[in-house]
């Protein structure tokens, strides 16, 4: 199956700083990528849908100014958590969708804000 | 709006028992996809199956089987002769040719 990578796999940052997470589709082009957030012992919650070359569509309740998403190419989407706070600590998972609507998930990035 | 319900929060079985994980979904679309994923402690999602709304045939893959019933909007997952390595959180998900939405997940613990 197709491979999606995320970098970094884990990150610890101080409160008030910004963190960028990369999501790459390694062997296919993805016009659409998705970002999910998962708190401990909870389900994956869709944060936003990212389309290459256009602005991301955010789910209700997700602050677009706080979670900046850039989908600059068909193989790369980035999520930047700006002015991170401890409550932003979570597991962030991206997924990429192929032209035939198959969706592949990255391994996730564990963010800890101290 | 689409919705996925996994009513079983946690299930605990003893090795070699069969276990069924329930999934009920809601959608207004006639075209949609259903999925099951396994999430071990590492966190990485493991794809198990994708089923489109036009294919109600049940599927078996080794010890895993899936029962898709549109009449009851259910897509249940059965593990036969469970093993300790099956311990994980299992998610059912629904996609209407757009984004994918997940159920709350069922934490399965298989004890030796």
- pLDDT (tens digit, 0 to 9) for every residue of chain A, 114 residues total? 679 999 999 999 999 999 999 999 999 999 899 999 999 999 999 999 998 888 899 999 999 999 999 988 999 999 999 999 999 999 999 999 988 878 899 999 999 999
Task: With CB atoms and an 8 Å threshold, state whether A102 touches B50.
Answer: yes
What contacts B75, CB < 8 A, 6 or more positions away? B23, B25, B34, B36, B51, B66, B67, B68, B69, B92
A9 in B contact zone (CB under 8 Å): no
Report pLDDT digits (tens) over B39-61. Answer: 999 899 999 999 999 988 888 99
User: Does residue B1 surpass a pLDDT of 70?
Assistant: no
Interface size between A and B, measured as CB pairs under 8 A: 42
Out of B33, B45, B99, the one facing A46 most closely (by C-beta) is B99
Out of A34, A43, A101, the one facing B91 most closely (by C-beta) is A43
Q: List the end-to-end C-alpha distance of chain B, in Å, as a whole number.
A: 41
CA gap A109, B82 in Å, rounded: 30
Burial label, A77 (beta-carbon count in 10 A; 0-12, 13-18, 19+): buried
Share of chain B above pLDDT 70, in %: 97
Which residues of B make CB contacts under 8 Å with A? Answer: 33, 37, 42-45, 47, 50, 91, 95, 97-105, 107
Task: With CB atoms and an 8 Å threshold, state whether B43 touches A110.
Answer: yes
Q: How far is A96 from chain B (nearest CA, A)?
A: 10
Please choose, from the candidates A77, A105, A71, A90, the residue with its C-alpha nearest in 3D space to the C-alpha of residue A2: A105
Task: With CB atoms and an 8 Å threshold, state whether A103 touches B97.
Answer: no
Chain A residue numbers touching B99 (CB-CB < 8 A): 34, 46, 49
User: Does residue B98 surpass a pLDDT of 80?
Assistant: no
Rounded alpha-carbon distances, angstroms, from residue A38 to A10, A44, B12, B90 = 14, 5, 23, 14
Task: With CB atoms and an 8 Å threshold, state whether B33 touches A42.
Answer: no
Chain B residue numbers touching A102 (CB-CB < 8 A): 50
A110 in B contact zone (CB under 8 Å): yes
Write down the pLDDT at residue B97: 65
């Amino acid at each position: 199956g197709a491979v999606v990578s995320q970098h970094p796999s884990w990150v610890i940052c101080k409160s008030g700083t910004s963190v960028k997470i990369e999501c790459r589709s390694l062997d296919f082009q993805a016009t659409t990528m998705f970002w999910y957030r998962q708190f401990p012992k909870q389900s994956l919650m869709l944060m936003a849908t990212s389309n290459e070359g256009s602005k991301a569509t955010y789910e209700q309740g997700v602050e677009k100014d706080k979670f900046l998403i850039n989908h600059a190419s068909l193989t790369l989407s980035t999520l930047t958590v700006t002015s991170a706070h401890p409550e932003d600590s979570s597991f962030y998972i991206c997924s990429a969708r192929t032209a035939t609507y198959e969706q592949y998930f990255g391994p996730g990035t564990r963010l800890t804000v101290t | 709006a689409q919705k996925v319900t996994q009513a079983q929060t946690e299930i605990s079985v003893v090795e070699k028992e069969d276990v069924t994980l329930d999934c009920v979904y809601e959608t207004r679309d006639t075209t949609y996809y259903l999925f099951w994923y396994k999430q071990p402690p590492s966190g990485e999602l493991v794809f198990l199956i994708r089923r489109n709304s036009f294919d109600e045939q049940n599927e078996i893959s080794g010890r895993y089987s899936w029962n898709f019933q549109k009449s009851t909007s259910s897509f249940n997952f059965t593990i036969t002769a469970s093993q300790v390595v099956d311990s994980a959180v299992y998610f059912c998900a629904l996609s209407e040719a757009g984004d994918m939405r997940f159920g709350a997940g069922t934490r399965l613990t298989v004890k030796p």
